[in-house]
């Protein structure tokens, strides 16, 4: 387990010291979300209606920005091969890297989301549920994304292919995430949606490391 | 050379069997397609509400069935390819993908054309339509990943992983009309209580389904054959370069 934490800490420290990736992702998220009020017009009723969906889609696309670098830097300088020779099972290594990715590039998006939600005129209850649904559902984004990142790690222009492969698989998370917020806004029960999101996260937590590890073995062999 | 013989022993037998089957499926495709279209477009009664537009069903429903079955078949043969390293299994998944994508596209387009007179709109974002659209994207992603590797054996494995991840979508599509209350009607042929539609419509539908199946078989045989021959040609060229 100490190897797991060591890898997690290393990846977090790398993300923290490089810094630019986190700020760029945040900036992209804010700008992409800001474009919508300019595009569809500033009526508050319309914004409140589309707000949850826009924030979820924004988070999803911003997450995609950093995914293609998930394994790539380690693959290019040979660290990945060394890690695979180490004592840590590859599946756990994937989990450590996914956890580091989630903490370093998805968690900041969730923290800034309430502020953006206020500008979208979403009611207070909706904002809390939005944060909650992002917290529960967004690990799926990193987990499924890790499969795509592993499959495209050896490619020169993997980014486009990554989005083509991964975005269709993100759709269920998006649907239930937005449904939870909309249920909260219209004062309906939110727990079914959150439970489904939780189910997706747990399922992905079990299955994705295996698929991702298989893809990494393929890239390195 | 011994390794080569070992590797191509199975594909050779596969080619021989496929060569023997091919004329029969080709003939049955022609017969069933003509019979199914005639039964569907001329013999079967028109619907008391939908009129002649109901005949779109004979194109639409079997195409949707094929879209799901071909993806399932690709998933099974990809799993076989991953587990037993069977080269023909990988090739057959690759060969089936574009055919499956075409059937999915056909189901989407005919569904849209049928939706316009019946529902008043070409497209609604309900569970069944959306999940079939996702299936179409999965087919495209699968084909894209085959193209983006130089080494075919690596491409086969990467594509197999992707197809097995995407297989989660298949039960979602199948049961979307039962789980969610959608505009698309629930299953009415393959239900627990037997088919819910009258035999005058059911029989042309099943004939069309059989026609699509044998159409798939004949296209599939041609494509797998050419894949195997292309791979063999590549090997011969590489051997020649090495000499």
Tens digits of per-residue pLDDT, A43-70?
888 888 888 999 999 999 998 888 888 8
pLDDT for B5 equals 37
Q: What pLDDT score was predicted for residue B49?
A: 73
**Which of A94, A157, A164 to mutate to probe the B interface, most B CBs <10 Å?**
A164
Task: Tell me the pLDDT tens digit for each residue of A191-204.
Answer: 888 999 999 999 99
- In terms of Cα–Cα distance, which of A52, A55, A60 is closest to A178? A52
- Residue B3 confidence (pLDDT): 46
Structure tokens belonging to residue B166: 């995407």
Q: Where are the domains of chain B?
A: 21-242
Put simply, the answer to whether B158 touches A151 (Cβ < 8 Å) is yes
Q: Based on the number of CB atoms within 10 Å of its own CB, is B231 exposed (0-12), middle (13-18) or buried (19 or more)?
A: middle
pLDDT in tens, A80-119: 888 888 888 899 999 999 999 999 889 999 999 999 999 8
Closest approach of A22 to chain B, Cα-based (Å):
28
Look at residue A201 in the predicted model and tell me its pLDDT. Answer: 94
Residues contacting residue A205 through CB under 8 Å, at least 6 positions apart: A139, A143
Rounded CA-CA distance A40/A47 in Å is: 8
- pLDDT (tens, 9 = 90+) of chain B, 243 residues, equals 344 434 444 777 788 888 888 999 999 999 999 999 888 888 887 777 777 788 888 889 999 999 999 999 999 989 888 888 887 888 889 999 999 999 999 999 998 888 888 888 888 877 788 888 889 999 998 998 888 887 888 888 889 988 988 888 888 777 777 666 666 777 666 666 666 677 778 888 899 999 999 999 999 999 999 988 888 898 899 899 887
Name which of A94, A152, A167, A169 to mutate to probe chain B: the one with the most chain B Cβ atoms within 10 A of its Cβ. Answer: A169
Q: Is residue B154 packed enough to be buried (19+ CB in 10 Å), middle (13-18) or exposed (0-12)? A: middle
Interfacial A residues in 117-176 facing B (CB < 8 Å): 144, 147, 151-152, 155, 158, 161, 164-165, 167-169, 171-172
Q: What is the structure's pLDDT at B218?
A: 93
Q: Is the dihedral of CA A184, A189, A191, A195 positive or negative?
A: negative
Mean pLDDT of A212-221: 87
A72-91 confidence digits (pLDDT tens): 888 888 888 888 888 888 99
- The pTM for the full model equals 0.82
């Amino acid at each position: 387990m100490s190897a797991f934490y060591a890898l997690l800490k290393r990846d977090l420290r790398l993300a923290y010291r490089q810094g630019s990736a986190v700020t760029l992702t945040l900036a992209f998220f804010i700008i992409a979300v800001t474009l919508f009020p300019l595009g569809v017009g500033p009526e508050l009723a319309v914004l409140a209606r589309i707000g949850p969906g826009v924030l979820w889609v924004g988070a999803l696309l911003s997450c995609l920005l950093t995914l293609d670098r998930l394994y790539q830097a380690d693959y290019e300088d040979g660290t990945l091969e060394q890690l695979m020779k180490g004592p840590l099972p590859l599946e756990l290594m994937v989990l450590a890297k996914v956890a580091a990715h989630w903490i370093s590039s998805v968690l900041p998006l969730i923290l800034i989301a309430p502020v953006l939600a206020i500008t979208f005129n979403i009611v207070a209850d909706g904002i809390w549920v939005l944060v909650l649904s992002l917290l529960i559902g967004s690990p799926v984004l990193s987990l499924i994304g890790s499969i795509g990142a592993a499959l495209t790690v050896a490619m020169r222009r993997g980014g486009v292919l990554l989005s083509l492969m991964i975005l269709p698989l993100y759709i269920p998370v998006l649907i239930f995430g937005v449904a939870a917020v909309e249920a909260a806004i219209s004062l309906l029960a939110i727990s079914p949606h959150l439970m489904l999101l939780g189910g997706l996260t747990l399922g992905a937590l079990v299955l994705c490391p295996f698929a991702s590890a298989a893809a990494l073995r393929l890239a390195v062999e | 050379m011994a390794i080569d013989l070992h590797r191509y022993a199975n594909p050779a037998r596969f080619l021989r069997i496929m060569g023997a089957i091919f004329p029969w499926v080709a003939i049955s495709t022609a017969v069933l397609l003509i019979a199914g279209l005639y039964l569907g477009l001329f013999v079967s009664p028109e619907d008391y509400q939908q009129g002649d537009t109901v005949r779109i069903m004979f194109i639409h429903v079997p195409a949707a069935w094929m879209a799901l079955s071909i993806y399932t078949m690709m998933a099974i043969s990809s799993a076989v390819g991953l587990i037993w390293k069977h080269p023909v299994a990988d090739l057959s998944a690759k060969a089936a993908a574009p055919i499956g994508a075409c059937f999915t596209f056909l189901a989407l387009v005919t569904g849209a054309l049928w939706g316009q007179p019946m529902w008043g709109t070409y497209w609604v974002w309900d569970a069944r339509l959306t999940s079939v659209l996702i299936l179409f994207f999965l087919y495209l992603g699968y084909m894209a990943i085959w193209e983006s590797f130089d080494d075919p054996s690596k491409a086969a494995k990467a594509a197999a992983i992707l197809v097995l991840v995407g297989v989660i979508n298949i039960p979602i599509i199948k049961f979307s009309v039962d789980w969610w209350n959608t505009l698309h009607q629930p299953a009415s042929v393959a239900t627990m209580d037997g088919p819910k539609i009258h035999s005058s419509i059911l029989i042309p539908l099943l004939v069309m389904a059989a026609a699509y199946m044998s159409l798939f078989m004949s296209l599939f045989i041609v494509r797998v054959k050419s894949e195997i021959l292309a791979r063999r040609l590549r090997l011969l060229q590489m051997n020649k370069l090495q000499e």
